[in-house]
Amino acid sequence: MTVTAVKSAEEFATLINSGKTVFVDFWATWCGPCRMISPVFERFSSQLTDSGAEFYKVDVDELPDVAQEWDIRAMPTFVAFKNGQKTGDLVGANPTGLQSLIVKQLTA
């Protein structure tokens, strides 16, 4: 699976309540670290196509209400969701930390 951009708050709510493990990259076009780690997030999504997890991006400038609802204060912030609940997060462009977040969520 590739990383899909979320286009609305309604779509976001549907995705995180799907019952699947969902990883979301909260990012901004002007954020240099976001652009640096984006290919890493894409690679994990491609490598984990059989995991059942889904990978999405939320541009905080396009969907500020979603970012505010989930208390996103810095970019990039990666958040894991399951059944509408936040199950883990990582603030910053840390490839090792991102891998740890994903592995932990998929083995929980």
* Residue 106 appears among annotated catalytic residues: no
Task: Find the catalytic residue in 3, 34, 53, 63.
Answer: 34
Q: Say how far apart CA 103 and CA 35 lie, in whole Å.
A: 22
Of 84, 77, 61, 64, the closest CA to residue 24 belongs to 77
Task: Find the catalytic residue in 22, 31, 48, 75.
Answer: 31
* Residue 73 appears among annotated catalytic residues: no
Whether the Cβ atoms of residue 91 and residue 49 lie closer than 8 Å to each other: no
Residue reference for tokens 């541009």: 59
Residues recognised as catalytic: 31, 34
